[in-house]
Chain A
Amino acid sequence: MNGRATGISRARRFTDHIATAVAVGRTALVLVPLLLVLGYMLGKGATSLNAAFFLHSPLPPGETGGGMAPAIGGSVLLLIVASAMGVPLGLGAGIYLAEHGRGTRTAHAVRFTADVLNGIPSIVIGIVLYLVLVLRQHHFSAFAGSVALAMIMVPIITRTTEEMLLTVPDALRDAALGLGIPPWRTVLAIVLRTAAPGIVTGCMLAFARIAGETAPLLFTAFGNQFGSADPREPVAALPLQIFTYALSPYDDWHRQAWAGALVLLLLIAASVTTMRLFSGRGLRGFGADGPS
């Protein structure tokens, strides 16, 4: 509202308002499904959440009550073992692509493989591991499930790590090398640290993705009515349990499936938040932004 409001500036302001309205509208449109899912899950699942749900094993079909303790424990076990394998491998491959193999044939091959692996349907990965691991060991196992999940994780982490490392300007590598800092230390202490927020986000995306995977677990972790913390045994997992319960004819199991979905979501949210807080420490306040 300045005094020199000419026809042109009025037209521009009008266009500006339209553009803003369109952007806000589309943002709302994106948020609607998310809020619907969250609200529906809270409404359906929260009522079935009680102590027994977290502490008890499932009861035989048709009986009311029982809980998902084995599935919760199994999911935690699967995710920890899968992350322990997938995160270091993905990070290592990403560092190789961005820092050591730039422009080499090997790097092209690795990148291509990662992209193809990223596009393979997760059920295919499950079947492959069924053939490679489960059949040879003659039993389903948490370990096989974790390997399947790790295989989904690796290409995601590899590619995001590479992309994030490439955003770190070469000037910083020059600065560190020019101080006589050895190359491996330059990568770890300077380059990785500078790209850390983006890399952590990549790891969290991969984690959230595998936390909800069901298909690859059908042929590997298989499911288990009873709790097990032994990676050599088959284990239950939340997505598997939700799948089974949701398909069942029992109302109580349907309610528990909703509760399981809610717990799975909370589990992911909690892990992601913890990781963010943990990795953000020490970096906070030193953003790369200009003079304040």
Chain B
Amino acid sequence: MVPSVPEPGSTPDTQAPDIQVERLNAWYGSAHTLRDVTLHIPARQATALIGPSGCGKSTFVRCLNRMHETGAGTRVEGSVRLGGLDIYAAAQAADIRRRVGMVFQRPNPFPTMSVYDNVASGLRLNGVRRKRLLDEVVEHSLRQAALWDEVKDSLRTRSGANLSLGQQQRLCIARALAVEPEVLLLDEPASALDPISTSKIEDLIYELKTRYTIVLVTHNMQQAARVAERTGFFLDGALVEFDETKRIFTNPRDRLTEDYITGRFG
């Protein structure tokens, strides 16, 4: 009778999976935007992806939760294994997207919904109705996203679009966390934010990576260095180098990586 939704806070702690990507290729129409990318994203760590605009890093993360295929004329080849499950061969796109949450570059709260409804939307629209459970999940998610104290008095009276930009982005993180994903994809989550909001988001990533597998796309190399264990450098749709963050920034193997991180291009 009662849907077996796990108690908030108890879930992903131990079982957030790793992601194994093999020879991933992606196209927008005839544009080949991702070429033969192979990499292993370790579980419960933050992995940063850097590279100049248009290098394919956003396309790459959109392939990790099957969002790439929502665009018109798109195509994907290769395999992505989420803890051993081939997400393209053996799963429904919607199920994968619940397990692999996503936060976008520009905050995109639902403007017609209150703060509460925004956070609850993922569960509600997937059929969860129990009010007590929703209340708990909303509070827990907002606390995790470090937004609870700022919005707890106006949960139902304030529109999601009525927050500051930084708060909106944390609301989007809370909304993504509410469906209890195991992986969190963050596509330049702080690029539209001011420095204080940015540092809040970074603290949050630091906190969340103990429980979630995190993939962070960023333009900001200091950000990658601050929060990520491993970093990948993309150029023209290909993964040039992928290694421990420290190594990428201090002693890269590839000349192109070195040129990019020292600011010679991009």
Binary contact readout A183-226 vs B (1 if CB under 8 angstroms, 0 otherwise): 00110011001101000000000000000000000000000000
CB within 8 A of A176: which of B99, B111, B125? B125
For chain A residues 156-181, which have a beta carbon within 8 Å of chain B?
A: 169, 171-181
Binary contact readout B110-152 vs A (1 if CB under 8 angstroms, 0 otherwise): 1111100000011001100000000000000000000000000
The answer, yes or no, to whether A291 is at the interface (CB within 8 Å) is yes
Instruction: Tell me the bound Cα distance from A194 to B67 in angstroms.
Output: 21
For chain B residues 20-64, which have a beta carbon within 8 Å of chain A?
A: none
CB within 8 A of A178: which of B101, B113, B126, B162? B101
Task: Please name all residues of chain A whose beta carbon is closer than 8 Å to the beta carbon of B159 when the two chains form the complex.
Answer: 285-288
CB–CB B110/A177 < 8 A: no
Given contacts A103-B72, A182-B94, A189-B125, whether A175 and B113 have CB atoms under 8 Å apart is: no
Nearest A residue (CB) for B65: A178
Given contacts A283-B112, A290-B161, whether A185 and B67 have CB atoms under 8 Å apart is: no
Could you say which of B172-180, B232-240, B257-265 contacts chain A? B172-180
CB–CB B70/A288 < 8 A: no
| Min CB gap A291→B, angstroms | 6
Task: Please name all residues of chain A whose beta carbon is closer than 8 Å to the beta carbon of B164 when the two chains form the complex.
Answer: 291
Instruction: Tell me the bound Cα distance from A287 to B162 in angstroms.
Output: 9
CB within 8 A of B98: which of A174, A180, A285? A180
The answer, yes or no, to whether A12 is at the interface (CB within 8 Å) is no
CB within 8 A of B108: which of A172, A193, A289? A172
| Min CB gap B171→A, angstroms | 11
The answer, yes or no, to whether A27 is at the interface (CB within 8 Å) is no
CB–CB B94/A174 < 8 A: no
The answer, yes or no, to whether B157 is at the interface (CB within 8 Å) is yes
The answer, yes or no, to whether B206 is at the interface (CB within 8 Å) is no
CB–CB A169/B125 < 8 A: no
CB within 8 A of B111: which of A103, A180, A182, A286? A286
Tally of B interface residues using CB under 8 Å: 35
CB within 8 A of A285: which of B102, B122, B157, B163? B157
CB–CB A286/B114 < 8 A: yes
Task: Please name all residues of chain B whose beta carbon is closer than 8 Å to the beta carbon of A288 when the two chains form the complex.
Answer: 111-112, 159, 161
Instruction: Tell me the bound Cα distance from A177 to B88 in angstroms.
Output: 16
CB–CB A178/B104 < 8 A: yes
Given contacts A286-B159, A290-B161, whether A174 and B114 have CB atoms under 8 Å apart is: no
CB within 8 A of A181: which of B94, B99, B163? B94
Nearest B residue (CB) for A287: B159
Instruction: Tell me the bound Cα distance from A196 to B110 in angstroms.
Output: 13
CB within 8 A of A180: which of B106, B109, B179? B179
CB–CB A193/B94 < 8 A: no
Instruction: Tell me the bound Cα distance from A99 to B108 in angstroms.
Output: 19
CB within 8 A of A171: which of B94, B97, B104? B104
Task: Please name all residues of chain B whose beta carbon is closer than 8 Å to the beta carbon of A289 when the two chains form the complex.
Answer: 161-162
Binary contact readout A266-292 vs B (1 if CB under 8 angstroms, 0 otherwise): 000000000000000001011111111
Task: Please name all residues of chain B whose beta carbon is closer than 8 Å to the beta carbon of A182 when the two chains form the complex.
Answer: 94
Task: Please name all residues of chain A whose beta carbon is closer than 8 Å to the beta carbon of B176 when the two chains form the complex.
Answer: 178-179
CB–CB A174/B126 < 8 A: no
Task: Please name all residues of chain A whose beta carbon is closer than 8 Å to the beta carbon of B126 when the two chains form the complex.
Answer: 179-181
Task: Please name all residues of chain B whose beta carbon is closer than 8 Å to the beta carbon of A17 when the two chains form the complex.
Answer: none
The answer, yes or no, to whether B194 is at the interface (CB within 8 Å) is no
| Min CB gap B175→A, angstroms | 7
Select the residue from B70, B112, B125, B163 with max chain A CB neighbours within 10 A: B112
Instruction: Tell me the bound Cα distance from A180 to B109 in angstroms.
Output: 15
CB within 8 A of B97: which of A103, A177, A190, A193? A177
Instruction: Tell me the bound Cα distance from A285 to B113 in angstroms.
Output: 10
Instruction: Tell me the bound Cα distance from A178 to B103 in angstroms.
Output: 8
The answer, yes or no, to whether B95 is at the interface (CB within 8 Å) is yes
CB–CB A286/B112 < 8 A: yes
CB within 8 A of A174: which of B67, B72, B163, B179? B67
CB–CB B111/A194 < 8 A: yes
Instruction: Tell me the bound Cα distance from A180 to B176 in angstroms.
Output: 10
Task: Please name all residues of chain A whose beta carbon is closer than 8 Å to the beta carbon of B163 when the two chains form the complex.
Answer: 291
CB–CB A291/B125 < 8 A: no
CB–CB A181/B122 < 8 A: yes
Residues of A at under 8 Å CB distance from B? 102-103, 169, 171-182, 185-186, 189-190, 193-194, 196, 283, 285-292
Besides the known contacts A180-B98, A181-B94, A287-B159, 7 further A-B residue pairs in the complex with CB atoms under 8 A apart? A173-B70, A174-B67, A177-B97, A194-B110, A286-B114, A286-B161, A288-B161
Listed by A's residue number, 27 A-B pairs whose Cβ atoms lie within 8 Å are: A172-B108, A175-B108, A175-B110, A175-B172, A175-B175, A176-B110, A178-B97, A178-B102, A178-B176, A179-B179, A180-B94, A180-B96, A180-B98, A180-B99, A181-B122, A181-B126, A190-B110, A194-B112, A286-B114, A287-B159, A288-B112, A288-B161, A289-B161, A290-B162, A291-B162, A291-B164, A292-B162
Return the 8 tightest CB-CB contacts between A and B, nearest first. Answer: A180-B98, A288-B111, A179-B122, A171-B108, A180-B97, A178-B102, A286-B159, A175-B108
